[in-house]
Amino acid sequence: MTSRTLINDLAAHADGTVSVSGWVEVVRDQKRVQFVILRDESGSAQLVNPVNDDTAETAASISALTHGSFIEVEGELKHDERVKLGGLEVKVGSLKVVSTAAELPIDSETGIDKRQDWRFIDLRSQRGRLMFKLQTTMLHAMRTYWVDNGFTEIHTPKLMASASESRAELFEVPYFDTTAYLAQSPQLFKQMAQAAGFGKVFEVGPAFRADPSFTSRHATEFTSIDAEISWIDSHEDVMKMHEELLHAAFAAVVEKHGDEIREVFEIDLQVPALPFPRISHAEVKQIVADRGHTIERTDGDLDPEAERQIAAHVKETQGHDFVFVTEFPSTVRPYYHMRDEADEAVTKSYDLIFGGVEISTGAQREHRVDVLEKQAVEKGLEPAELEEYLDFFRYGVPTHGGFGMGLARVMMLMLQQGTIRETTFLFRGPTRLQP
């Protein structure tokens, strides 16, 4: 049999014999001619089979095809502008059924809960393929940015002896004669790399939060995008790196997939302009209040409606989909965020909001061990329990800072989906461990 050709490569192929393989999307079984829409991992194409005495066996095979069956076809490629699907078609010469699909349990109208039960079928579509193709492009562009700018990739352990951040959101795991915990983030180890003299580092890997949230943007397991850099003057250096990274990622996605995103998701994806807008937390509270929303949270943090309101304000006034909210109060930030020298109530930190939703938190870290101990006590923590972490700072460490960002959440907002369950390959939440 002729070597397999991906459907997206057919356009560049000369008329003649080709071999294509994929799954059946549509069968139009007419009296004199049969049409099959075949899709593979790259795209879809029309197969045609004239019905006559010479093609009777093939015609019977096509008539028996079910939606979702996988087939191999060898036939004659013909470029024809009259064909709506790609301007080409393949006249079937031989057809082999690799596997026959039973009646599919879901379709495009099925609700998301049931579609999640049958995720391998749910993703068998142009929409599903495109989401993870562009995710690949986005991560490749990020890695390219990091490598080109002298970053080192690290892979930190996900089994930990103690909490990385909040004990309240830890998954406990039996570990021989003791208990281990699934890492909530690579935060501690990113900072260890600074003490080790690595300078700029990044990691793309799993993170776990035992958070019983059922919102559209939370998961118990997610892919975290993390970076940490040394020798910074303030969190502004981290924000600059962060916005440049996203600008590079969006530029790559738009260049490679912009037309298909427009076709499939009906979104004209734009590359965000540099620099991203920056608004202090205090200013945000005033802007949001002026827009008629009162933040109910007593700890001073922003609530989801405040995030939506400040995003709407920035979109209206600056035409931008991103905004850095900076200088968060120390009451809502962890003990390891550096506080402003001029005002101890304010931290050198930020949240990055995209499309009205927070996608990342970043900060300059506190690197002075005596200050870390003092701030830990103020947060109700015992320095004795933090000894392994505090050791990182006892033997010399440069100024440093970084961020963590959820991959699926960025994709959800990029593609204007209602939930990260759509943009996560296999979602994990409080009530979902399968498939």
Q: Return binding residues for ATP.
A: 358, 406-409
Contact 137, 187 (CB under 8 A): no
Question: What letter would DSSP give residue 253?
Answer: H
Strands (E), 103-200: 152-153, 159-160, 172-175, 178-182
CB atoms closer than 10 angstroms to residue 425: 12
- The H-or-E segment that residue 139 falls in is helix 126-148
User: Closest Cα to residue 183, out of 213, 147, 150, 156?
Assistant: 156
Of the chain, the end-to-end C-alpha distance in Å amounts to 36
For residue 430, say if its preceding peptide bond is cis, omega within 30 degrees of 0: no
Distance CA 38, CA 362 (A): 46
- The H-or-E segment that residue 228 falls in is strand 221-230
Three-state SS for 301? coil
User: Closest Cα to residue 229, out of 220, 241, 221?
Assistant: 241
- Checking 125-131 for CB contacts under 8 A at 24+ apart, the result is 125/39, 126/39, 126/43, 126/44, 126/260, 126/264, 127/264, 127/265, 129/41, 130/257, 130/260, 130/261, 130/264, 130/265, 131/411, 131/415, 131/422, 131/423
Residue tagged 């995030």 (tokens): 307
Positions at the binding site: 165, 209, 358, 361, 365, 406-409
Q: For residue 113, list its beta bridge partners.
A: none
Q: Which runs of consecutive H residues, i.e. helices, occur in 51-91?
A: 56-63
Q: Are strands 88-99 and 44-50 parallel, antiparallel or unpaired?
A: parallel
Residue tagged 């304000």 (tokens): 313
Positions at the binding site for L-aspartate: 165, 209, 361, 365
Three-state SS for 58? helix
